[in-house]
């Protein structure tokens, strides 16, 4: 197992290159290219923004609120797509191994957020037994306010065996870009990384560097 998200996703892509048909590969690459080309980072959440107040639904029935999450210091949010997403099932276990232990030792909460409804989202927790929190952003309410939402393109919709809204329980084709946010104790976004290509995600080391940089003693 690797502690690099980049290497883990490269291995996933290599497996697809050997097992998928050219049409499947082209469809996947085309959707990702569309997102990269249409993405404008000026629109998305960035460092210095005020983090909107939020209430996320934990899959254990709890409510995760912004002010409670940062009451004792900074917190990290990682937005991912849904429980059955192969790239998410590749990246999140890397964060469990290479990110969460250090955050836990620093006293920094980690919440992984998806728009998928809690009853379906809990599948990824059962599969991997994550020690950090998994939460639902119902209807992409927070993701919309952060402007990190996209919709699948027409080719992806036509090729889908099951509508995405049925898979996620949301009834829509909307998903968040993979995004990592570091929220400071005052509610300001101290650091942000938004990836329009879901096969390119933030490395644990980059997140830890950002966390440590705002926790240095004055």
**What does the pLDDT look like over 19-40, one tens digit per residue?**
999 999 999 999 999 999 999 9
Structural domain that includes position 208: 5-215
- Ramachandran area for residue 109 (φ above 0: left; ψ -120 to 50: alpha; else beta): beta
- What's the Rg (C-alpha) of the chain? 17
Phi, psi of 43 (to 5 degrees): -85, -25
**Lookup: tokens for 53:** 């107040």
pLDDT at 217 over 70: no
Would you call 15 helix, strand, or coil by DSSP?
Answer: helix
Q: String of b and e for 90-126 (b: at least 16 CB within 10 Å)?
A: bbbbbbbebbbeebeeeebbbbbbbbbbbebbbbbbe
CATH code of residue 180 = 3.40.30.10
**What does the pLDDT look like over 166-205, one tens digit per residue?**
999 999 999 999 999 999 999 999 999 999 999 999 999 9
**Lookup: tokens for 9:** 């996703």
Amino acid 1: pLDDT? 67
Closest CA to 94 of 132, 135, 64: 132
Q: Tell me the C-alpha to C-alpha distance, in Å, between residue 100 and each of 103, 112, 167, 205.
A: 5, 11, 28, 11
Total of domains in the chain: 1
The mean pLDDT of 54-61, rounded to a whole number, is 96
Residue with tokens 């980072």: 41
Alpha carbon distance 105, 123 (integer Å): 27
- pTM over cut 0.85: yes
Alpha carbon distance 114, 101 (integer Å): 22
Alpha carbon distance 208, 204 (integer Å): 6
Where are the alpha helices (H) located in 80-199, listed in sequence order? 86-98, 100-106, 118-128, 141-146, 154-159, 164-168
Could you tell me the sign of the dihedral formed by the alpha carbons of 135, 126, 177, 208, in that order? positive
Q: How confident is the model at residue 218 (pLDDT cuts 50, 70, 90)?
A: very low
Rounded-to-10 torsion of CA 114, 88, 206, 108? 50
């Amino acid at each position: 197992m690797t502690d690099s998200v980049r290497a883990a996703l490269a291995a996933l892509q290599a497996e697809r290159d050997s097992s998928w048909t050219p049409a499947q590969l082209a469809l996947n690459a085309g959707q990702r290219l569309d997102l990269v080309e249409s993405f404008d980072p000026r629109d998305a959440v960035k460092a210095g923004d005020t983090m909107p107040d939020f209430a996320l639904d934990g899959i254990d029935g709890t409510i995760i609120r912004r002010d409670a999450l940062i009451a004792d210091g900074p917190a990290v949010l990682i937005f991912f797509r849904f429980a059955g997403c192969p790239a998410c099932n590749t990246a999140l276990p890397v964060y469990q191994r290479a990110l969460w232990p250090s955050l836990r030792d620093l006293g920094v909460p980690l919440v992984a957020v998806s728009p998928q409804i809690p009853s379906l989202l809990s599948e990824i927790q059962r599969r991997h037994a994550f020690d950090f929190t998994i939460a639902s952003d119902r209807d992409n309410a927070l993701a919309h306010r952060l402007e990190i939402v996209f919709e699948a393109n027409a080719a992806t919709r036509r090729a889908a065996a099951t509508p995405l809204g049925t898979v996620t329980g949301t009834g829509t084709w909307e998903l968040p870009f993979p995004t990592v946010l570091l929220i400071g104790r005052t509610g300001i976004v101290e650091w942000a990384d938004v990836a329009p290509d879901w096969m390119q995600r933030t490395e644990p080391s980059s997140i830890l560097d950002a966390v440590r940089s705002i926790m240095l003693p004055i």
